Amino acid sequence: MSADPGPRSAAESAFLETVWSNLRRNYIAHLLHGLLGQTGFRLLNAPTFLPAYVYSLSGSDVAVGLARALQYFGMFLSPVLGAALIEHRRRVLPVGFVVGALMRVQLLGIALAGLLLPAPWNLRAICLFLGLFGFFLGMQGVIFGYLVSKTIPIERRGVLVGLRQFLAGLTSIAVAYFGGNYLIERNALGDGYAATFLLAFGLTVLGLCMLLAVREPEPPAVRPVSRVRDRMRELPALLRSDRGFTRYFLARALATMGRMAVPFYVLFASSRMDLTGSDLGILTAAFLLAQTSANLVWGWVADRTGFRLIFLAALVVWILAVVLLMRSVDLGLLVVVFLGLGAGLGGFMLAGQNMVLEFGEREDLPMRIAVANSASELVGAVGPLVGGLIAATFSYVAVFWLAIGFQCAAIVVVVFWVDEPRRAASR
């Protein structure tokens, strides 16, 4: 005889009523958080400023790959810890504030290392802060992914995420252009790159403050407190219980391996033509403009079709942009390439981060986010380091084709073995 679902249904109804009654307030808070916070973080994560900066300090492709690998390795280590910190809590926003603040401290450290430390200590400190930034970013991905799932109904998330990206992209374009033309080109404060990251730090702090307006609902059920070690032992059962999720997380990990090539896009372009600080600002603006515009469209489509289609379409756009990059001979064509890279990479990240929210039960959502993020960031950590070694030993083109091979494998897995989770849930 089955248990009476009445109390749980009543509690779930009360939870949903709270979500909808606070939707406008929370929607605006998430938008403002994304507008300011993502503007700053995009300057660090864009495939232009940081790779060019590390290369200018080191003169080494391996060092560029290592710097990004340390960030992704930090992102691999921490998601399960982030899930264990929040999955027993009815309110997770206080933890999110602490982790968000620690992320921003690392961004400040990167800026100050460039401004205050001599070589080679500046490069070593930047790599250390990148690793710590990745560690806290990995936790934040779980915490804020779960927070969005609690505060924004599923049928409203696509447009929200797309609009966040759109607004953040508009400000990022202006800040990237300003950073390239006035900070880097003029070597502001004695180190234009560090000055750009200092500006990014200020914007991200303002973004974090916007979350003070969020009213977080308390779910009807949460998991009991458990140790990280115990939750790790339960992961095989979690993967076996949902084949669709397991195949999705495999495909996402394969596609993430394509990020091995990202730090080398701008270095490849620099090997073909001389790129000034202004040129880097233009390319960063093009990348962010495409990410901005495309994600607004990706989000609108996702609300109607689900994120599976976005996952596939974005990978195709990303691959085509890299093929065009290998044939680029002037700045005009390079701008088109970075428009494609922004649209493709942005759509892949949008789909990867949101599709995971639609599998399984809410109580297990933090750990599902953690598993998917950890798997992606593990290969994300290995990828740039391998890419740097391949670039130094063979060529940038060899790195690009290997990355494309992994992306094609991800497409095959999703096409043949991963159903749209919204359709699966409705059956």
Q: What is the pLDDT along the chain (427 residues), one digit of tens a residue?
A: 334 444 557 777 888 888 888 888 888 888 888 878 877 887 888 778 889 899 999 989 889 888 988 998 888 888 888 888 888 888 888 999 999 999 999 999 999 999 999 989 999 999 999 999 999 998 988 888 888 888 888 777 777 777 777 777 777 778 888 888 888 888 889 999 999 999 989 989 998 998 888 888 887 777 777 666 766 676 677 777 778 888 998 999 899 988 889 889 999 999 988 888 888 888 988 887 888 788 778 888 888 888 899 999 999 999 999 999 999 888 999 999 999 999 999 899 889 888 887 887 767 777 888 888 888 878 878 888 889 899 999 999 999 999 999 999 999 999 999 988 876 555 4
d(CA 250, CA 255): 9
Upper half-sphere CA count for residue 232 (Cβ side, 13 Å):
10
CA 29 to chain centre: 19
| Residue 219 forms part of a structural domain | no
d(CA 217, CA 14): 10
| Residue 170 forms part of a structural domain | yes
- The reported pLDDT for the residue numbered 425 is 53
- The reported pLDDT for the residue numbered 136 is 94
> How crowded is residue 315: how many other Cβ atoms within 10 Å of its Cβ?
25
pTM: 0.74
Q: Which domain holds residue 264?
A: 21-213+237-426
Contact at 8 Å (CB) between 264 and 399?
yes
Which whole-number Å values give the CA distances from 217 to 16, 91, 365, in the listed order?
9, 7, 16
> How crowded is residue 342: how many other Cβ atoms within 10 Å of its Cβ?
30
| Residue 12 forms part of a structural domain | no
| Preceding peptide of 120 cis, ω within 30° | yes
Closest by CA to 338, choosing from 304, 382, 291, is 291
| Residue 9 forms part of a structural domain | no
> How crowded is residue 23: how many other Cβ atoms within 10 Å of its Cβ?
16
DSSP conformation class of 395: -
| Residue 53 forms part of a structural domain | yes
d(CA 363, CA 88): 9
| Residue 367 forms part of a structural domain | yes
Contact at 8 Å (CB) between 148 and 290?
no
Q: How many domains does the chain have?
A: 1
One-letter amino acid for residue 378 of the chain: L
Output the domain CATH number for residue 68. 1.20.1250.20
Contact at 8 Å (CB) between 341 and 47?
yes
- The first and second tokens of residue 352, run together, are 């990867």
Burial 42-69 (b: 16+ CB within 10 A, else e): bbbbbbbbbbbbbbebbeebbbbbbbbb
- The reported pLDDT for the residue numbered 2 is 38
- The first and second tokens of residue 169, run together, are 């992209």
One-letter amino acid for residue 354 of the chain: N
d(CA 90, CA 225): 12
DSSP result, 88-111:
T-S--HHHHHHHHHHHHHHHHHHH
| Residue 11 forms part of a structural domain | no
| Residue 147 forms part of a structural domain | yes
